[in-house]
Structure 1
Amino acid sequence: MTGTEVAPEGLRERKRRETRRRIADVGMQLFLTNGFDATTLDMIAAAADVSRRTFFSYFDSKDGVLETWETGLEDALRAAVSEQPPLPAPLAVTRQALARLATRYETDEALAIDRLMRSTDTLLARKKANYERQEQIIVDGLAERWPSPDRRHALRLVAMVGVGTLRLAIEAWSAEEHRGPLSDYLSEAFETVQSEMTP
């Protein structure tokens, strides 16, 4: 097997992955139906047809179910940044990466999860922390293209501006009841940012 080949997934690994995915999907549906606080770990285990012990083989707590969805979004952002073609400036890379990510916010499931994350102060704080992690992912991706340590502070600023622009675009899109694609709101928000930065 060469260094570029990937070993085939064994039956045991595939079953573990499928079980983890099933528990996460069932748990998220219960969160969306009952609310996060009202959904217990035992309820998730029962609905996923696994024992409490099996649940703990995959997740430390019910928070881990949320982390599965969050990790998927973060992985998509990481890929969106790294796969951008050569562009002249960090803000251009950030803008294009976030535009690619925008479609992930437009599904019915994503909209329901967004409402869930705004439903309690605890989840809202978690949502804000997610944005901070997105900023770090962008910084890391930009630093691979512009590796000079002297630029690290500037790249962090670009990432903060980018994620802040995404947040404002999502808020405007939500306020208008998701009329039209989020990418249009994001594009308009970036145009506003760039016009304010130009003398």
Structure 2
Amino acid sequence: MPASEQSKDPGVRERKRRETLARIAEVGLRLFITKGYENTTLEAIAEAAGISRRTFFYYFKSKEEIILVWQSTFTQLIRAAVVAEPSDQKPIDAVRNALTKLTAAFDSDQSIIMDRVIRSSETLMSASHAKYVAQEQAIFEALCEKWPQARRRKSLRYVAMVAVGAFRLAIDAWSSDGGKRAPAAYLRESFAALRTAF
């Protein structure tokens, strides 16, 4: 297909848009890790990504949004992982197993650095709390897809809420320990503690 035709092809344009967005996000995250969030400017991100400042704003409203996009990707993975779990188990076990599998695949070194980047900024910490609301909703929707009976919706909402709470405590413990052990280990302990609490 000639270049002139490719530029008119919505599929090609969308692929290029996604590739550019991913490149900007990757560059931004790398700079946040190496220079620190506060010390990384929009200009530095744009320059490293090979785009103009104006183009940056076509993809992101702010540098903070790069972190939010990174976090939302994990939320999407959580939903898919819960849906993929077998239905012949309790909903809370399905969520625990899904999260354990996901965290087992964490790049622990990069994740602990990104966690420190987020905790270094009040702006990022405030925005980061919203991710837990999104994760709860994603888990709830996944559980409703697996167990669609209307009578179960309230209990599935509870499962989503407590599961995200257990996940949050596990990640906090992992971060406080400086990632000495794999995130999945903290997650298993957190869900075990949840079981003994009721």
Give the TM interval when normalised to the shorter protein.
0.7 to 0.9
1:193 maps to a residue whose letter is L
Deviations 1:100-141 (A, max 9, x none): 121354432211111111112221122221111111100000
Give how far 1:159 is off. Answer: 1.0
Deviations 1:11-63 (A, max 9, x none): 54443332221111111122223332332222211121111222222222223
For structure 1, the 5+ residue unaligned runs are 1-8
Aligned to 2:154: 153
Deviations 1:124-178 (A, max 9, x none): 1222211111111000000112223332222111111111111222222233332
Aligned in 2, Cα 1:176/1:35: closer, same or farther, shift over 3 Å? Answer: closer
Moved more, 89-98 or 104-113: 104-113
For structure 2, the 5+ residue unaligned runs are 1-9
Distance 1:177 1:187 in 2: 17
Aligned to 1:65: 66
Aligned to 2:6: none
Aligned to 1:118: 119
| SS in structure 2 of the partner of residue 147 of structure 1 | coil
**How many percent identity over aligned positions?**
44
For normalisation by structure 1, the TM-score amounts to 0.84
Distance 2:130 2:105 in 1: 19
Aligned to 1:41: 42
Aligned to 2:194: 193
- State whether residues 78 and 138 of structure 2, in contact with CA within 8 Å, keep that contact through their aligned partners in structure 1: yes
User: RMSD of the alignment, in Å?
Assistant: 2.0
- State whether residues 29 and 66 of structure 2, in contact with CA within 8 Å, keep that contact through their aligned partners in structure 1: yes
Do structure 1's residue 167 and structure 2's residue 165 form an aligned pair?
no
- State whether residues 112 and 178 of structure 2, in contact with CA within 8 Å, keep that contact through their aligned partners in structure 1: no
For normalisation by structure 2, the TM-score amounts to 0.85
Distance 1:20 1:33 in 2: 20
Aligned in 2, Cα 1:57/1:120: closer, same or farther, shift over 3 Å? Answer: closer
- State whether residues 80 and 101 of structure 1, in contact with CA within 8 Å, keep that contact through their aligned partners in structure 2: yes
Distance 1:118 1:44 in 2: 20
1:111 maps to a residue whose letter is I
Moved more, 141-150 or 129-138: 141-150
Do structure 1's residue 15 and structure 2's residue 2 form an aligned pair?
no
Aligned in 2, Cα 1:13/1:89: closer, same or farther, shift over 3 Å? Answer: same
| SS in structure 2 of the partner of residue 88 of structure 1 | coil
| SS in structure 2 of the partner of residue 86 of structure 1 | coil
- State whether residues 105 and 111 of structure 1, in contact with CA within 8 Å, keep that contact through their aligned partners in structure 2: no
Aligned to 2:110: 109
- State whether residues 108 and 179 of structure 2, in contact with CA within 8 Å, keep that contact through their aligned partners in structure 1: no
Aligned in 2, Cα 1:59/1:177: closer, same or farther, shift over 3 Å? Answer: closer
Deviations 1:56-101 (A, max 9, x none): 2222222331232112211211111111112332111111111112
